[in-house]
Amino acid sequence: MQETYYLNETFYTGKAAWQILMQSSDKLIIVKFVAPHCGSCITLKPVLEQLATEYADRLHLVEIDMVEETELAIALGIRNAPTVVLFQQQQEQARIAGLKPKKQYLDMVQQFL
């Protein structure tokens, strides 16, 4: 089972961190579902981290291993990695599956700020 890591006030990993943030934060929550040895996941990581840093006062970034958290991935309809899901006020607002240009992630976030 994947452990929960509190990395700082913006970056988190694990299902438990996501669940806590869903219940306690008014900020946008971006969840990046990844898988081991996923090259696109590795490529996407700095893109999302830069975006999260730019908007640190308004969002959280959570990384969840979809292999470790299979039940959650299935419940949310996650079929491939990477998949990025944006939550606001405990509701899914947007989703991007696969590796896309940075602008697409930026547009998704800005739409809900």
Exactly one of 16, 17, 38, 66 is catalytic; name it. Answer: 38
Q: Kindly state the DSSP code that residue 112 receives in the 8-state scheme.
A: H
For 18-35, the pLDDT digits (tens) are 999 999 899 999 999 999
Asked if residues 58 and 86 have their Cβ atoms less than 8 Å apart, the reply is no
Q: Kindly state the DSSP code that residue 82 receives in the 8-state scheme.
A: S
Residue 2 pLDDT grade (very low, low, confident, very high; cuts 50, 70, 90):
very low
Q: Kindly state the DSSP code that residue 52 receives in the 8-state scheme.
A: H
Q: So what's the pLDDT on residue 1? A: 43
Asked if residues 55 and 72 have their Cβ atoms less than 8 Å apart, the reply is no
Residue 6 pLDDT grade (very low, low, confident, very high; cuts 50, 70, 90):
low
Domains of the chain from N-terminus onward: 5-112 (3.40.30.10)
CA distance 69 to 76: 11
Asked if residues 83 and 44 have their Cβ atoms less than 8 Å apart, the reply is no
For 64-81, the pLDDT digits (tens) are 999 999 999 999 999 999
Give Dmax (Cα) for the chain.
Answer: 34
Exactly one of 28, 41, 78, 109 is catalytic; name it. Answer: 41
Asked if omega into 36 is within 30° of 0 (cis), the reply is: no
Helices and strands, number each (H, E), in the chain: 4, 6
CA distance 12 to 24: 14
41: annotated active-site residue: yes
Does the pLDDT of residue 96 top 50, yes or no?
yes
